[in-house]
Amino acid sequence: MCGQLINKRINRVTHIAMYSVMLALASLASFIVGGLEFHYVNNGVDIMFIVAAVILTPSVIVISIMRLHDLNFSGWWVLSFVVPLLGLIVWLALFFVPGTEGKNRFGNYMDKTPLSTYALILTLPVVFGIMMLCKHFYSYLVTLY
């Protein structure tokens, strides 16, 4: 089943929405555990964020492969993410370069983006803003007591 999913294409808007959901899940996990006062190690790295990132990494890889297929590139290009400058260029291309029009070797062009995808993209910044305000308010309350 995973092979069938990876061999599909997603356009830029869907990629951004799916990537945002993964980032939101990692941030939400970090935020939830943030109030428990045991989530920081000595150098200030948030352990829950690392755990969430490890759990969500396979999903991010699959999403990136599907977007690479939309650009008519092999999914193996996802390995370029570990090469510093090349990885950054490929990663940015996933967000800004339009996909190939029509059919390519990975399937048909996804010309219509569902309205729910646009709604998701528009609501995520609001959710992040509320989370950050709550976190700062919690930090402020902790300093008072």
Among 92, 90, 94, residue whose Cα is nearest residue 80: 90
**pLDDT by residue (tens digit) across 65-77?**
988 998 889 889 9
What is the model's pLDDT at position 85? 92
- pLDDT digit string, tens, across residues 95-126: 888 888 888 888 777 667 666 666 766 777 77
For residue 64, pLDDT beyond 70:
yes
Q: Which residue has the higher pLDDT, 129 or 10?
A: 10
pLDDT in tens, 45-62: 566 667 777 888 888 898
Domain boundaries, the chain: 2-144
- Give the chain's mean pLDDT: 75
**3-class DSSP string for 33-92:** HHCCCCCECCCCCEHHHHHHHHHHHHHHHHHHHHHHHHCCCCHHHHHHHHCHHHHHHHHH
pTM for this model (two decimals): 0.69
Residue 22: its pLDDT value, please?
78
Quote the CA–CA distance of 52 and 55 in Å, as a whole number: 5
